[in-house]
Structure 1
Amino acid sequence: MTFEELKKNKPTSDWLENDEDGDFFNEENISATNKVLDAYISTLQKLGSGAEEDDILEAVEKVVTQLNELNEGYDHYIETSEREDLCEFIQTAAELAGLETDEDVTEEWREW
């Protein structure tokens, strides 16, 4: 997988479709989430293939704390399946940037 493929396959693409009654997701919270995820990918791409672990983890911390704020602001729309989707997305991107770990990189900062 590449960053471009990851960018095209954000977990949010399925969220709206799966929310048949529109209780959790709308164009506003999906768009805000996509913006945060796109910025995360762009940051990792700018770091390049020889990125330092600390720089990658700084990008992870930033995306997770931004998602914490969105989740709070949009009435806690990130639930179990969304959390799993986001964790996988963030982890995959961090690994593409060169991070080597078997641990959940979001756990330290995640409130959702």
Structure 2
Amino acid sequence: MTFEELTKNKPTAEWKQRMDEDDDLFTDENINATNEVLDSYINNLKKLGDNPTEEDILECVKEVVIRLNELNDKYDYFIETMEREELCEFIIEAARIAGLESEEDITEEWREW
């Protein structure tokens, strides 16, 4: 998978569909805000170039997780179990594309959701 493919498959696409099916966890505001955070994460990983260090990649992971913590707080805790799994999958896959080799949940250290 590439960053471009991953960007087209953000968890927020499914959230929008669930919102349209009357899932009241989601609003246009929290979906748009999450999209901005995830797009920023991908862009930050891309800026690292072709040979980023593990430390640089994990710094991007830390930033995206902390920003998602803030959004979750701001929008009344819309990140529940399914959303957490979808976000973690996305974040970990993007880090892998950037070059991180890890079998661990790299979000856990900072995650509050």
**Considering the TM-score relative to the shorter chain, is it more than 0.5?**
yes
1:16 aligns with: 16
**Residue 54 of structure 2 corresponds to residue 53 of structure 1:** yes
CA distance in 1, matches of 2:4, 2:49: 14
CA distance in 1, matches of 2:2, 2:49: 12
Give ranges in structure 1 of 5+ residues lacking alignment: none
**Residue 103 of structure 2 corresponds to residue 102 of structure 1:** yes
After superposition, residues 37-48 of structure 1 pair within 5 angstroms as 37-48=38-49
CA distance in 1, matches of 2:37, 2:94: 13
Q: Which amino acid aligns with 2:7?
A: K
Shift >3 Å, 4+ stretches: none
1:7 aligns with: 7
CA distance in 2, matches of 1:95, 1:48: 14
| TM-score, scaled to structure 2 | 0.96
Q: Which amino acid aligns with 1:18?
A: R
1:4 match: secondary structure:
helix
CA distance in 1, matches of 2:50, 2:7: 17
CA distance in 2, matches of 1:94, 1:2: 11
Number of equivalences: 112
CA distance in 2, matches of 1:10, 1:4: 10
CA distance in 2, matches of 1:22, 1:89: 21
Give ranges in structure 2 of 5+ residues lacking alignment: none
Point out the more displaced range, 71-80 or 8-17: 8-17
| TM-score, scaled to structure 1 | 0.97
CA distance in 1, matches of 2:99, 2:50: 6
